[in-house]
Amino acid sequence: MEQNNQFLGTERIGKLMKQYAVPCIISLLVGALYNIVDQIFIANASYLGSYGNAANTVVFPLTVVALAIAVMIGDGCCAFVSISLGKKEVHTAKQSVGNSVVMMIISSVILTAIYLIFSEQIIAMFGGTVNEETFRHSKEYFFYISLGIPFYMFGQAMNPIIRADGNPKFAMLSTLAGAVINIILDPVFIFVFRWGMMGAAVATVIGQVVTAVLAIWYLVNMKIIKPGKGEYRLNRSVCGKTLVLGITSFLSQISLVAAMAAINNMLRKYGAMDSIFGQEQFAQIPMAVVGIVMKFFQIVISIVVGMAAGCIPIVGFNMGAGKKLRVRELFTKLLASEAAVGAVAFILVEFFPQQLINIFGAANESVYYTEFAIKAFRTYLCMMILACVNKACFIFLQAMGKAAASTALSMIREVVFGVGFALLLPVFFGLDGVLYSMPVSDLLTFIVAVFLIIRTYKELKTKGENA
C-alpha cells in the first residue's frame, strides 16, 4: 500500500505537477463548463437572449453555494488524507473518506430542501427581480437545477478524494463524461425541443447524475483509502480536522456568492439610475453582461485552482514526510505558472473583448449590450495576473496545513474587499463602481499575499529537512 504513494516524495516536482495538476485543471474546467455551456446556448437562443442570460447569472451563485460545501468537504478530505498518508496513518485517511461521504450526503439533501422551499425569496436576494421576464426565467431554471444538487455535490466532493487515492485521470474522466453529455443535450433541448431554461437545466442535471454514478463506482473500488463499514461512522475529531483543512476552499467559493449577491443588487440599483439601463427593455443588460464576464473569469480561475489544487496531494505528502525543500520548489514553480496563466488572460480581456462577448450571443443584442460588455471585460478583469497569484497562495497555504493563514487571506480578499468595495465604490462611481471593485480588491489582496509568500519561503528552508 505504501508503494502506491511513496513516489510523491521522490519523483521530479515538474513531472508530479504535470501528472496531478493537468487532470485537475481539466476536471475543474469541465465542471465550470456546465454553467458556461448553458449560458452560451441560452444566449444564442433568440427566444431567450439577454433575459435568459440574466436568469443564468442570478442562479449561478446559488450553484456555487453547493460547490462551496462540496469542495470544503472534498478538498479538506484530500488534504487530510495526503498528510495522513505522508505520516503513514492509513486508517485515519480511510476514516476521513468515510466521514466525508456521509457529510456530503446530509448537507446536499438539506441544501436541496432549502432551495425548493424558499426559491422565490432566494432568487429575489440575488437580483432576479430586475424585471418580470428575468424573474420568470430564473424560477424555471432554478427549480430544475435544485433537483440535481445532491448529484452535483457528490460528484464535486469526490473529485479531490479520487485524486488523493492516486487516480487523477479517473477524477478527470468522470467529470468529463457528465459535461460531454450536457454539451450534447443542451442544443437538443434548447433548439430542437425548445424547452428553454428547463431544457438547459435538465441537460445539466443529467450530466451531473452520470458523474455522481461514476464517483460512486470508484468509491467502492478505491485502491489505497477505501473505507470499511466502521469508517463511515461520524467521528467528531476526524470531521473537524477535515472541515478545518477545507474551510479555505469553502470561503473562497461562498464569498464569491456574497460578492455576486452584492454585485447583482448594485447592478440592479445603479442600473435603474442609468439613462439607458434604467429603461425596462434594457434593465437586464448589466446583470447579463457581468455574469458573462464572471464566466470567463471562472474559466481562468478553474485553470489556476486546478494547478494549485492538483498539487495538494504532493504538498500534503511532502509536508507530512518533512521534505521542505521539495515543497519550496513546488511553490516557486506554481507561482510562476499561475502568473503566466494570468498574463494570457489579461491579453485576451484587454485586446479581444469583442470576440469574447460574441461567443455569448452579442449579435442578437443592442449596441448598448456590446459597449457595456467591452468596458466590463477591460475594467473588471484588468488585474488578472494578481488575481491568479492570490488564488494560488490561498490554496498552497491550505495544502501545507496552514488553515488559519489561508482562511484569513481568503476572507480579506473575498469578504472584506470583494463585498466591501462592491457596495462602496458604486456610491461614488455609479455603475462603473461595480466594475472597479474587482481590480481594487485584487491589488490590495496581493500586497497582503506578498508578505505571506515571503514568510512561507523562510519557513521552507533546509532546517528540519528529511531526506
Q: Burial-class residue 246 by CB neighbours within 10 Å (0-12, 13-18, 19+).
A: buried
Look up residue 349 and give its three cell numbers: 480581456
Distance CA 117, CA 81 (A): 36
7 located within any domain: no
Q: Are 300 and 341 in contact (CB under 8 A)?
A: yes
Placement of cell 505528502 in the chain: 317
* 467: number of Cβ within 10 Å: 6
The three-state secondary structure class of 112 is helix
d(C-alpha 99, C-alpha 28), whole Å: 24
- H-run or E-run covering 65: helix 49-86
Query: Would you give the DSSP letter of residue 128?
Result: T
Q: Is there a domain that residue 318 lies in?
A: yes
> Who's near 134: CB < 8 A, 6+ residues apart?
51, 54, 55, 58, 128, 284, 287
Residue 465 lies in a domain: no
d(CA 334, CA 130): 42
Whether residue 209 lies inside any domain: the answer is yes
pTM, 2 dp: 0.77
* 9 found inside a domain: no
Residues in contact with 176: Cβ distance below 8 Å, sequence separation at least 6, in sequence order: 26, 27, 30
DSSP 237-286: HHHHHHHHHHHHHHHHHHHHHHHHHHHHHHHHHHHTTSTTTTSGGGTTHH
What SS3 class is residue 465? coil
Q: Which of 42, 77, 76 has its CA nearest to residue 56?
A: 42
**1 lies in some domain:** no
Q: Dihedral sign for Cα 345, 347, 351, 355, please.
A: negative
The domain of 188 spans 14-459
Q: What is 330-343 written as a DSSP string? A: HHHHHHHHHHHHHH
> How buried is 462 (Cβ within 10 angstroms: 0-12 exposed, 13-18 middle, 19+ buried)?
exposed
| Identity at 134, one-letter amino acid code | T
pLDDT of residue 148: 96
Q: How many CB atoms are closer than 10 A to CB 388? A: 29
- How far is it, in rounded angstroms, from Cα 116 to Cα 62? 12
pLDDT along the chain (467 residues), means of 10: 64 86 80 76 84 88 91 91 85 93 97 97 90 93 96 94 87 88 94 94 95 96 89 93 85 78 90 88 87 87 86 84 88 93 96 88 77 94 95 84 81 88 94 94 95 89 54
Q: Is residue 238 part of a domain?
A: yes
Residues 6 or more apart in contact with residue 442 via CB below 8 angstroms: 383, 386, 387, 390, 413
Does any domain span residue 2? no
Signed CA dihedral, 66, 94, 242, 20: sign only: negative
Distance CA 138, CA 286 (A): 16
- pLDDT computed for residue 260 by the predictor: 82
Closest CA to 389 of 339, 332, 458: 339
Q: What nine digits make up the cell of 66?
A: 453547493
What total number of domains does the chain contain?
A: 1
